[in-house]
Structures are given as C-alpha cells and as structure tokens.
A and B are shown apart, each in its own frame.
Chain A
Amino acid sequence: MKANMQADLLLPTNEDTVGPYFPINFSDPLLEDLSQFESGITAQPQGVPIILKGRLLDRYGELANGTVVEFWQANAKGVYRSPKHEGDSDIDPWFWGYGRLRTESGEFEFKTIMPGPCADRASNITITLFSDGISRIVTQIFFADQTGNASDPLLQSLSCEDQAKLSARHEGEADCGSKIYTIDIVMAGENEIPFFDDLIREGE
C-alpha cells in the first residue's frame, strides 16, 4: 500500500456518504437510551436523566431524513469511558457514553443522562452526523442552563451567535421525569451551526 511519505503514514481510505439506506435492522435500542443499562438488569447510571430532542435541518429548512446520528459524552462525573481513563474510580460501570440512532424523519430523541463537567470543560455531547450527500460531520452541543459555558474553551472560540446555535434549551419535563432539552442542528445555509475539524490540528 502506498504510504504518505511526508509523515510516513499510510494513506487513509476515503470517507464516503452513508447514502439514504443505512439498514434500519442495524439499530440497537440500547444505543438510543443510555439512561438504562440493559433491559432486565437492576442497575441505573448515575446522574440526571435527560431527553435530547433534536431536529436536523438542511439549507432549505427541510428535515434531513435518513440520517445516522452518533453521540459521545462523559458520565455524570465528567469521565469519558475511553482507554485514557481505564481504572478511574469515577467510571460508572452502568454507563458507556456512546449512542447511535438512525432518524427516519430527521427528528430524533436521545435518552441519556446529563454529562458532568470535567477539567476545564462545560457539560457537552459530541454529535456526529452521517447523512446522504455528505461524509461524516461533527459538532458538539452544550446546555444553556448548565454552569461553565462562559469559560468553556471550545464555546469561547466561537462568536456569541455561534455559541447560541450550539446551546440546547431546557423545555420542561417528560412524564417519566426526565428533563427535556431541544436543539436545532442546521446543517447548511443561513443558520448553519458550527461544525468542527477533527482531522486538522491547530497550528499545523
């Protein structure tokens, strides 16, 4: 295989669009509801249960149907379940933090717990979109009523207008008691939200 001479790295396989037909039979209900561990198990993740209600919109304000949405977040104590934190006493055994769903209409509901703030970061959820017509795009959302937003380094790298676009709003409680948050994710055009580049580093 051809190598990238400059950095002595292999050249990556190109990312490609997921297309319109991501198989619905690949869905896993446990990845759409992180507020429970596995059905039938007497265990509950720590933290405040929330429901994130989102709308994915295109540049004409139409719902972006058929999109695969992935979520990645810290647990209630602000710890990510990644190799870096292996053995950390603040890991919650009943919470992983990775979620995935395919939205048929372009609207979604993701059940989870409020991620904790952690070293220098406000509570946030990383959202990855795989949609027809585009390859993977990534953003991160925050919670308007949580503390720490004013000093979060990612939020503070954005204009006030863009910060607002990444802030989910608390809009009441569900029957089950979970706090409901809403967010509009505009993928393109006038009210486009900021997306982030996880391939290029600052200063390179």
Chain B
Amino acid sequence: MSNTGRQLKIGPTDNTSDQRTPRNRLRLIPEIARESFAPYVPQRGLSRQNDWDLTRIAPDLPRAEGVAIEVSGKLQNERGTPISNAMLEIWNANHFGRYRHIEDHSNIPLDEHFLGTGRVFTDSEGNYTFWTISPGAYLARPDIGRWRPKHIHISVSGGGSRLITQLYFPDEPNNASDPMAILMGDDFERNIGKPYETPKIDVDSGLNFDIVVGGRNAVYFE
C-alpha cells in the first residue's frame, strides 16, 4: 500500500472540533469492501405545502422580517452530470441570527413568522430553487468574540449522492475567522454564493450556488 488516508484537521477556535475530530489518520478501504461504503438513499417526500419558501411559515401567512432572497443553482457530480430528484434539506437562522431549534438557547429574538427549515428537490436537469430570509450572523464564542458568518445549511441526499455543506455570503466580515472556512483555505471560495438580480420575482436578491457532489464514493451516477 503506497498511500494513506486523510488526516483530518481541527477547526481553530472551535471547541467541539477539538472534542470530536478523530486524531488518527483515516484508514484506506480494501477495494473489495468499497461498495459497502456507498449508501444509496431512497426517494422521500415533502412534508409541508410550501417547503420551498422559507420566507413564510405558510402561503397565507405574512413574510418574516429581513431580506428575502432566492437561492438557486445546479446540482451535479464531479463529471458534470446533473443529479436529478435529489432532496435538499435546508435550514438557516432568522434575520437576527437565531434558530427556531429547541436546543438553541440564545437570547436573540425569534421571529413569529419564520420557521427556518425547508426541503426542495432538483429537477430533471439538476436545478433547484428555494426562497429564504438572509440569515443573521451570530456570536459563536462570546469569550473570544468569534462570530459565525451568515450561512445557510444545505444537506443533499438522493441516490448515491450525499453531502452536507454550508452556503456563505460574499464580502462578509466574519468569513475569514470561521474555523471551517480556515480549514478549507482557498477552496472556501467555492462555498460562497454568487449574487444576481431578481427584478421579476418577489424577493430582494438572488444567490447562485452550484453544488458539486465530490468523492469517488458517489459511484452511482443517476
């Protein structure tokens, strides 16, 4: 065996990363066992009527506070093949930087019109679109004054594709000090959305985020 598995790195100023990051190098998988490491996720359904529109809790309810944005892009594998019918699970903090999650105990206000979770599927060309409220940054480490930059969590699953990532915003002051962004180095740029104008729809601006599911583990290309 000439090569070795990756050595994972610990996110600077991230206590949880220090607690949970494996210290040993990842082990290589014998070729004969690789198939067993490629989960194939069954198709699942949507749960809410307007799962694609996080800017309001239901179609007949008022819009949440803050800047309404459209996020759209193409989902593809490393070979550029579009991935259709994949589910994107989306969650982000409200305009003020608070999650409506039972374990988010911060004092930042909730927004009575914002749930902050949604799901969409990619179409036959791998394209997806959803609306949400541009999230607030929040103070992750009050003791050292480190903020989490504005970000939207996106989990992609469907068939042989599996990825959990975060979409970041351009020119945000807190991007540079984010532990995960630091670990990504120059590659961080690929997780920043590209702004576009949205004159004809009921949102303030758009953010393009093309997603490439990497890894030779995604052995099934649908």
**A residues whose Cβ falls under 8 Å from a Cβ of B:** 1, 4, 9-26, 28, 58-60, 62, 64, 66, 68, 70, 72, 74, 80-84, 96, 98, 104, 120-121, 124, 126, 128, 130-138, 140, 153-154, 157-158, 187-189, 192, 194-204
Contacts and interface: CB of A to CB of B under 8 A. Distances in A.
Interface in B24-55: 24, 26-42, 44, 47
Interface residues of B, number: 78
B36 A121 contact: yes
Given A10-B212, A60-B19, A120 B32 contact: yes
B20 A132 contact: yes
Contacts of A201: 28, 31, 34, 216
A12 B27 contact: no
A157 B31 CA distance: 11
Contacts of B102: 24
B20 A188 contact: yes
Contact of A12 (B16, B29, B42, B212): B212
Contact of A64 (B20, B166, B213): B20
B197 interface: no
Contacts of B159: 83
A72 B163 contact: no
A130 B155 CA distance: 10
B5 A16 contact: no
B16 to A, nearest CB: 3
A172 B173 CA distance: 55
Contacts of A138: 37
Contact of A26 (B22, B117, B191): B117
Contacts of B36: 72, 74, 80, 121, 124, 126, 140, 154
A14 B165 CA distance: 7
Interface in B69-115: 76-80, 89, 91, 99, 101-104
Contacts of A17: 11, 17, 164, 166, 180
A11 B187 contact: yes
